[in-house]
Each structure stands twice: as C-alpha cells, then as structure tokens.
Structure 1
Amino acid sequence: MPFAGGKLDRESGKRNDAAYIAEQLASPNTELIIFQNAKPFFAKDANAPLRLLASALPQFGKIKLGPIYLGKDNDSIPLFAIELSASFDVDNSILQGMGEFAELRQMMMRISHEDLAMLGVARSLFDWHGRHGYCANCGASSDIAEAGWKRICPDCNTEHFPRTDPVAIMLVVHDGKCLLGNSPRFPRAFYSCLAGFIEAGESIEEACRREVFEEVGVMVSDCEIIGNQPWPFPSQLMIGLIATATTTEISSWFSKSQIAEMLDGGTLIDSEQFFGPPKVAIAYHIMQHWLESLA
C-alpha cells in the first residue's frame, strides 16, 4: 500500500536521548532529505529524493525546521529531514544543479514505496510543526523536542504530539454493484469511494454508516475493514471498508465490469467517460479487493 510499509527503523525509543541523536547527526554516513514549502527535493534525472550527507548541514545556514530524526534505513544509514525557509535560493546554494523541489502528489506515482513512506512521514511532521507552534493549553510559543517528534511548552510544560486524523473510506456494495461518489473537489468524470472523518466517540463502523447516509441517503449494515493507509496531505489515516447497502436510493451504482474498466484507465457509460482513483490511493485497492472477491 503506498505510503505504508516503510522499512525505516524509527528508533522511537531513542528520540529522547539527546546524546544519541547528536551522535547520529554527526555520523559521517548520515544523510539528509530536504523540504521547502512542503515539497521534497528530488535528485536530478532520478525518481528519488536527493539524500545529501548531513555534513553539508552548515551550508544551509538558518533552516526553518529540523533536523528531524526519521530513523535508519535498510543499510543502517541514519536519516534526518530539514525544511528550508521559503526565501532559500536553490540557484545560489549547494543544491544548484542537483535537482529540484516538486510536489509529492506529482511524484508519488514514480518513486519507490520506501521513499514514498519516508517522504510521507517527513511531510506530515513538517506540516504539524507549522500548524502547532503555540501551546494549545496556554498560548505560549512551544519548543521542538525529542528529535522533532514532540513539542513542549516552556511556560506550562504541556507536551504536544503529532496528530493523525482517522478517516473512514468505504465502498458501498449491493447485488453485484458498487456505489461511487464525485466530490466537488474532483474533476467531473472522476469517481471514487465515499469518505469522511471519524468523529469523537465514534467507532469506525459507526462513522462508515453515518457518512454514507449523510452523503447519499443510503443505509448500510455490515461494515468490513479491509486495510488502511497513511495519507500525508496533511496527516490522515485512511481506514478502508466494504459496506453492504440495505437500501438503494438514487445514487451512482457501477457494475463489476465498469469498475474493472475504470481501474484500467477509464470506461464509457452512455457516451460519457468515467475514471477511477489512482493506484497510490487506498480507494483503488478497496475497489480492486471487491473485484477480486467477486471473481
């Protein structure tokens, strides 16, 4: 699953060991990945993020955020992430000619699952720090702690941790067909699974039933969880379900063959083109799971 299955050893138990983190940062084989305005820096002519030796860190001057310790890769190389200020000029820096900053959404179909997972972690953390610089308890400016995985208020000592927002994303099925939706945010011909944030005090299944009824007026009974996916835009956990409809109000229902064609590049229905979600989205895998269950 894209953004999941990363192979980093996060070494979460060592984040509060300042001496250990400093030792990793000073190691001669430690590498940096670099962000600016939520965009990773990708190596020139390569579908991979640039990994620069951490010894180059002083050449960036004052950085916006970081270094954040991500952990060690399969080769036991320590990895840190930094975010540069918006005013940082690539053309007059060590990065000149080495690549470019690019939107992760634009690159996620091209890079490896391991790199995608690593960049997703860093992007979510930088977004969280950018939004939570002040203590939610007293309003004072908070400080980064534990190698970038915590913020602590110096005034009231309240600890703040990176948040993840759970989302139920479901494929509603009935009698060999499934229901898809078209969000106002989507292109007109793009259809995907229904989805919504899980509310306080609500189970995953309860959120699934509520969201389906709110969005399309259809009642569902059985809700089967089939997988999940971290989604770093900015920091959701997408929990995928198959839900069985008990009512079939006027909605967009698609057959098995239509879904198969949508996932294979698109389908024509009444002379109109329809497209499904890309392979990097859990919605694609939920729909594929349903197709395989009917085989």
Structure 2
Amino acid sequence: MQHAEQVTFGGSALDRAGEIRSNPDAVTAALAHPDSKAILFWRGKPLLSMARPAGLVRLAMDHPVLQQASADMILLGREDGAARFACDISGWTPEDLDGATLDSFLDASEQRHPLLEDDTAFAELRRVMTWLTPRDAELAATGKAILDWHESHGFCARCGGKSDVAQAGWQRVCTVCNASHFPRTDPVVIMLITTGNSVLMGRSPFWPEGMFSLLAGFVEPGETLEAAVRREVFEEAGVRVGAVSYLASQPWPFPASLMFGCRGEALSTEITIDPVEIEDAMWVSREEMMQVFAGEHPRILPARKGAIAHFLLENWLADTLD
C-alpha cells in the first residue's frame, strides 16, 4: 500500500533501545541521565500539553510528581539518544473526579494534577490521537499498552504466583516457578470488503447512533490472516470472500490489539447478519461514502479519524490502496 505507515500510531521509527533492557546497569544509568525524560500516565491517559497544537509532555526525571508514580518505570526507547520512560500515577485521585465519565464510549473528561502546569491534562488517547505527531502517538500508544499489560498480569498464568517486573518493563518473571511472561498483542483483522463500486459496512449494537465501520474480528490460533478475514465476514454478514490482500497495520492499544487492514473481494452480496456480532450491515457505494466523509449522509456518520477504518476508506476513495 502506498501510504501504509502513515496510519495513526505507526511510522515514527522510534529507537526502542531493546539492547539495554536486560542490562540493569545501563537502565539505571539511563534513569539518572539528565537528558532522560518521563512520560506520565493516569489510568491509561497520557499527560498532554493542551495548548494547540497539543503534544505529549516529557517531564524531567526529578520532577516532584514522579514521587507519586509506581516504583517500576518502563523504558519506552530513545529520542535523539535520550531515554524515555513511561510512569504511572493511577494511585492519585483527582478531587473533582467524576467516575461516570470514565466509562463512556469516548471519555471527554480531562484530569489536571496540582503539581503540573495549568495547561497540561490527562486526556483519553482515542479522543486526542489525531492531535499528536507520529512520534508522540507511538510513545503514547506504547506506554498505554505496556502499562495496561502490567496492571492485568501481576500473577503468573502458569502457577498463580506473584510476578515481578524485569527487562526494564518488557517482561514479568514469576517469583514461584520462575516462568517468564511477555507483553501480549492480540491480532485483529479489519476488512475492506468490496464488490464493484461498493464497500461492506457494519455496526455494533453498542455504538453511538449512526456509527458504522468496516467489519473486524480477532484472529484465532492456527489461522492465517486471509482465513480470518473470510471467516469473520461470513460469520458476521453471511458474505463469502475470495481473494484477500494485506494493506496496512495499526497498533491499537485499547487495550492491546494489532489491527491488520486487509482488502477482500466479495463472492456474494446477500447480507445475513449475526445479531450477536453486529446490529446492521450494508453495501455503501463510493458516491455515498463521499457523502459520509462530507458529513452529509442521512444515516451514516463519518468513521472516526485516526482509526485504521477511516484510513482504509479514505485511501479506497482516493484510489491509493495499491
């Protein structure tokens, strides 16, 4: 695909400093280096400078707010040779926290810490992802994904014993059976299924009114991407798919997916939805999709900017998939 790595969260070529993760002395030196910076998270939300253009905040390693951070800092990589660490302060409770807003489909709330600058706030990554540079987006996505993994993997999946952080945050080791555990990424296929001049769109019953997107689903063990595309489309919409090709990928840290954007040619057009999986599905012509992107369609809202579905549809309309 001509513009494959221009998708949000991809293409910044971050130096991940993998060669020093297993070297405690090198990591300790990086933590103490004056050029190293911390990237702060609260309940999965990165700290941003909200002045436009918004950007990911990088704090000095001796900033007072880091005294509230969890003990384990995660080495994300290096920028211009200087280390960047993800730090979590989810233990802090804002005075004006409204818990009801945090579970919405798109959390619009912002949290401001009294020890930080007034123009900074913790903001939900899905809401702000299109505001960020490719480097900021990659750092934020990586930090959120790895911190989420640590939060849910404190105990060994083999024996149930407590596990400790290792390799600068990129491994956990069981204190009982010594089993090693590594961050997981769940492969998901998202499919641009076309027939003639139309593309297949569907919606989940839990989405906001008017929201449609490309069909998507998890890849099962022992399954190729191509097989997953065909199975998921048939299961969800009853449409048979023939030739499948890969287009682009996108890390999607909500919480830990890697989206594989694929193109598929429909062999059938009759739609029979699985109501457990989706609420509705339809074929949408290029002309209609242009209306959707312009915000003028009577039924369908534009796909969310920053998501790979929007990226694939945009390139399909522009004829830049190949």
TM (norm. structure 1) is: 0.92
Matched AA of 1:101:
F
Alignment of 1:239-278 (within 5 A): 239-250=260-271, 251-263=281-293, 265-268=294-297, 272-278=298-304
* Alpha-carbon offset, residue 160 of structure 1: 0.3
Is 1:16 the counterpart of 2:42 in the alignment? Answer: no
Say how many residue pairs are matched. Answer: 289
Alignment of 1:212-231 (within 5 A): 212-231=233-252
8 Å contact kept, 2:74–2:86: yes
Q: Which residue of 1 aligns with 2:86?
A: 81
Q: Secondary structure at the match of 2:55?
A: coil
Matched AA of 1:187:
P
Quick one: structure 1 residues 14 and 45, their matched pair in 2 at CA, closer, same or farther if it must change by over 3 Å? same
Q: 2:112 & 2:29 partners in 1: Cα distance?
A: 31
Is 1:101 the counterpart of 2:122 in the alignment? Answer: yes
8 Å contact kept, 2:76–2:84: yes
Q: Which residue of 2 aligns with 1:64?
A: 70
Question: Structure 2 stretches of 5 or more lacking a match?
Answer: 1-6, 95-110, 272-280
Identity of aligned residues (%): 37
Matched AA of 2:295:
G
8 Å contact kept, 2:191–2:263: yes
Matched AA of 1:252:
M
Quick one: structure 1 residues 72 and 252, their matched pair in 2 at CA, closer, same or farther if it must change by over 3 Å? same
Q: Which residue of 1 aligns with 2:9?
A: 3
8 Å contact kept, 2:216–2:232: yes
Q: 2:253 & 2:88 partners in 1: Cα distance?
A: 16
Q: Secondary structure at the match of 2:56?
A: coil
Matched AA of 1:237:
L
Q: Deviations over 1:104-126 (max 9, x none)?
A: 11211212121011100000000
Q: Deviations over 1:82-138 (max 9, x none)?
A: 001333558775325352211111211212121011100000000000010000011
Matched AA of 2:56:
P
8 Å contact kept, 2:65–2:116: no
Is 1:201 the counterpart of 2:222 in the alignment? Answer: yes
Deviates more, 1:43-52 or 1:196-205: 43-52
8 Å contact kept, 1:258–1:267: no
Q: 2:87 & 2:137 partners in 1: Cα distance?
A: 16
* Alpha-carbon offset, residue 67 of structure 1: 1.0
Question: Structure 1 stretches of 5 or more lacking a match?
Answer: none
Matched AA of 1:292:
A
Q: Which residue of 2 aligns with 1:166?
A: 187
Q: 1:96 & 1:126 partners in 2: Cα distance?
A: 24
Q: 1:14 & 1:23 partners in 2: Cα distance?
A: 11
Q: Which residue of 1 aligns with 2:319?
A: 293
Identify which of 36, 39, 45 aligns with 1:39.
45
Q: 1:229 & 1:85 partners in 2: Cα distance?
A: 26
* Alpha-carbon offset, residue 71 of structure 1: 1.0
* Alpha-carbon offset, residue 173 of structure 1: 0.7
Quick one: structure 1 residues 91 and 182, their matched pair in 2 at CA, closer, same or farther if it must change by over 3 Å? closer
Q: 2:136 & 2:307 partners in 1: Cα distance?
A: 16
Q: Secondary structure at the match of 1:28?
A: coil
What's the Cα RMSD here? 2.0
Q: Deviations over 1:54-87 (max 9, x none)?
A: 122x6533523531111111x2221111001333
TM (norm. structure 2) is: 0.84
Alignment of 1:69-148 (within 5 A): 69-73=75-79, 75-87=80-92, 94-95=115-116, 97=118, 99-148=120-169
Matched AA of 1:76:
G
* Alpha-carbon offset, residue 203 of structure 1: 0.6
Is 1:29 the counterpart of 2:20 in the alignment? Answer: no
Q: Secondary structure at the match of 2:187?
A: strand
Q: 1:19 & 1:41 partners in 2: Cα distance?
A: 28
Q: 1:189 & 1:240 partners in 2: Cα distance?
A: 22
Matched AA of 1:40:
P
* Alpha-carbon offset, residue 283 of structure 1: 0.8
Q: 2:73 & 2:8 partners in 1: Cα distance?
A: 25
